[in-house]
Chains A and B, each alone.
Chain A
Amino acid sequence: MDTLWDSGIALSAYDIQAQLASDASKPLAATTVLTVLSRLEKKGFVRRERDERPHRYTAVASRADHMAELMHEVLGGAEDRTAVLARFVGQVTPAEAEALRKLLS
């Protein structure tokens, strides 16, 4: 996924495999890369362009976009998402933060 994010353009599974092979000590099999890609596609993280062979893949959203989505969920921006996870300290109002500051000192 990092390879796709860094490249910014559509890559085929073989391009990705070559990229990964140059970074890692152990080269991955092309089928492994394809398996991972199709899994990512199913989860909606990459898009496959089918008009030419070999199929090319692009990232649906940037790393920062996904991070923003994740944090939005964590911070309870979506009111009906609060049951998804339990935060250590939930939403705090400015007045409450002020009181907490006093308690700290």
Chain B
Amino acid sequence: MLTAPLLLALLAVALAWPVPLWLASARWPRRSPALALLLWQSIALAGGLSMIGALLTYGLLPFGTDLLHGLTGFAQAVADGSAADRAGLAHLAALFGAALLGIHLLLNLAIVVLRTDRDRRRHRALLDLLGSTDPSQPRTRILDSELPVAYCLPSSSGSITVFSAGLISLLDDEELRAVTEHERAHLTQRHDLVLVAFRAWYASLPWFPVAYRAQREVGMLIEMLADDRARTHVEDRTLARAIALVGNAGEQSGLAVATRTDELQPQAIARVTRLGGEIEPLPPIARVAVVSTAAALLVVPTALLLLPALLTLGA
């Protein structure tokens, strides 16, 4: 049966190209960033799953009708040396591709996770050396730099938020509170995990423009999510002002970097504009639709892979 590999391949192509592009250019994610983030994650997972699944099921066709029989048949064929006789070049190439792709994705994830962890440790050591601590806020470090920067550094041993002296003198107390709450949201909601996953996806497929776009889009949604958290503590326009001040001052002090950011929609403006208007979360029906879609995206390829085997087992 060629149905499962074909359907998986169709899904893989859809999730690799048109679907992410549609989501990246849609307007609604700005209204409900958390839901959009959920959808992005399920697109990435389902995309990888169906791509590997399509190659695997196609490659195993000569050895059995479903995944289970195919795998056992393939193992036997390898054992008695008849694998190359029973399957044509196309099938063997597909199997090889599935294995290669799976290993490539997992290996890249591991490398990115380890490297990020190492970089964070190094950064933390530098911060401990150069930053100063405010005794009333043990989770905060102040950097003696004129450049206005604020960021958070996640760590299993205790995450910290860092402000530069330049930022503190640029913003008033209420704006600083907005920044603090924004960064705290990143840490408590563990946005770093999502970022690392998409970072790894992009590192695995650097030649794949959609992966870069997805990573950037996810980065912006995470900022908006943290903005929404900060909005429960400060007024919208205070936060918007803080973003605009920091963004503008950053450019003035020579922080602006003309890299690939040029070709993409500017994130700071999108955030400020968003805060300037009325932010209406998606209506309940649309929310249910997004969550169901995200769930379906994961269920469909899994079912296509496993269901035929389960059906034969049950019969």
Mark A residues whose CB is within 8 Å of B.
Answer: 1, 43, 45, 63, 66-67, 69-71, 73-77, 79-97, 99-101, 103-104
Contacts and interface: CB of A to CB of B under 8 A. Distances in A.
Contacts of B115: 80
A70 B153 contact: no
Nearest to B271: A89
Given A70-B143, A79-B259, A93 B251 contact: yes
Given A84-B120, A97-B252, A103 B192 contact: no
Contact of A63 (B127, B130, B251): B130
B269 A96 contact: yes
A86 B256 contact: no
Contacts of A91: 255-257, 259, 261
Contacts of B261: 91, 93
B72 interface: no
B272 A70 contact: no
Q: Lowest 4 CB-CB distances: which A-B pairs, in order?
A: A97-B251, A88-B150, A96-B266, A83-B199
B196 A83 contact: yes
Given A71-B145, A84-B116, A86-B152, A93 B130 contact: no
Given A73-B123, A83-B192, A92-B247, A100 B182 contact: no
- B-side binding surface: helix, strand, loop or mixed? helix
Nearest to A95: B266
Interface residues of B, number: 62
B172 interface: no
A84 B129 contact: no
Given A89-B268, A93-B262, A96-B268, A1 B112 contact: no
Interface stretch (B26-34, B238-246, B293-301): B238-246
A87 B149 contact: yes
B111 to A, nearest CB: 11
A66 B250 CA distance: 21
A90 B196 CA distance: 17
Given A66-B126, A99-B269, A85 B152 contact: yes
Given A100-B268, A104-B241, 6 more contacts: A67-B145, A73-B119, A83-B199, A90-B219, A101-B244, A103-B269
B243 to A, nearest CB: 6
A98 B269 CA distance: 10
Interface in B192-237: 192, 195-196, 199, 203, 219, 222-223, 226
B133 interface: no
Interface string B136-175: 0000000111010111111000000010000000000000
B202 to A, nearest CB: 10
A88 B161 CA distance: 10
B179 interface: yes
Given A92-B256, A96-B247, A99-B269, A86 B186 contact: yes
A5 B32 CA distance: 50
5 contacts: A81-B119, A86-B195, A88-B242, A91-B261, A103-B273
